[in-house]
Amino acid sequence: GAGVSQSPSNKVTEKGKDVELRCDPISGHTALYWYRQSLGQGLEFLIYFQGNSAPDKSGLPSDRFSAERTGGSVSTLTIQRTQQEDSAVYLCASSLFGQATYEQYFGPGTRLTVT
């Protein structure tokens, strides 16, 4: 079946502009996660959704970052007034349930470049 999809695959934006990144999880997966990965670095946790609610937003780096999930499916990560340090690959993952015993399926990521 279809895996996790993300769009756009690449996004180049000017500093100060807002961007929206989209994630379509695997159908039926109740949990959805956003991570950020800078070049050659590890995975930085941003936010976790269980259904449409976000019980863990602890990783959002600043109030310029927000995310929502609707219909227990699609999620969007919005970055307002982008800065150059926001440049990274943004990865979305989903799992069947939110308990950490379930493996996470990652999407291909959105490469964000802020010029």
Interface residue list for other proteins (CB under 8 A): 35, 40-43, 45, 48, 56, 91, 93, 100-101, 103-109
The CB-of-80 to other proteins minimum distance in angstroms stands at 26
The CB-of-29 to other proteins minimum distance in angstroms stands at 13
Closer CB to other proteins, residue 12 or residue 100? 100
The CB-of-99 to other proteins minimum distance in angstroms stands at 8
Closer CB to other proteins, residue 63 or residue 103? 103
Closer CB to other proteins, residue 80 or residue 106? 106
The CB-of-66 to other proteins minimum distance in angstroms stands at 20
Closer CB to other proteins, residue 57 or residue 80? 57
Q: Is 94 exposed, middle or buried (0-12, 13-18, 19+ CB in 10 A)?
A: buried
Three-state SS across the chain?
CCCCEEECCEEEECCCCCEEEEEECCCCCCEEEEEEECCCCCCEEEEEEECCEEEECCCCCCCCEEEEECCCCCEEEEECCCCHHHCEEEEEEEECCCCCCCCCEECCCEEEEEC
